Amino acid sequence: NEYQYFVTFWMEKYDSRDKLLIVMYEDLIDYDEGPIAATKIADFLGQTDGVEPIGREYIPCVWHAIVKYKEVVVSKSGIESENKERKLVPSSPDSLREGPTERPYNSQQLELLKNLVEGLIEQFHNDEEFVAIMSTYLETISSTVALD
């Protein structure tokens, strides 16, 4: 499985876990957790020689400009508009995220996903952060209703 290979590659690439940062996509796009995840990324990158992240006080603003740039904005006059411009990189329209938020799966696909995630949890059971993240995904998979 390509996903299992991908995860295994990165989990085993470094001798020290301090050289690997894992961030859940769901956390990164969440209003409360997103700026926290962005701060973790900035702190992690800041440990590298020559990398100087922006000031911590600016991270929530930069996070919002990058991640939530398409949200509906209500002006003082009460008029709603969709903010489609990226404040930091206005010339990258191909980065606008769109598409379905729900992904329908049949029971066979859900069982395969469940087995894959359980296998990864077993494989990297000593990594508490990884296990916590994958357990969150396992809960989601387990609570998903199959199409068939």
Give the pLDDT of the chain (148 residues) as one tens digit per residue. Answer: 899 999 999 999 998 999 999 999 999 999 999 999 999 999 999 999 999 999 999 999 999 888 887 775 555 565 555 555 544 444 444 445 566 667 789 999 999 999 999 999 999 999 999 999 999 999 999 999 998 8
Long-range contact set of residues 87-94: C-beta below 8 Å, sequence gap at least 24? 88/62
| Structure-block tokens of residue 91 | 């010339």
- What pTM was estimated for this model as a whole? 0.75
Cα 83-30-13 angle, rounded to 5 deg: 115
Phi, psi of 75, rounded to the nearest 5 degrees: -75, 170
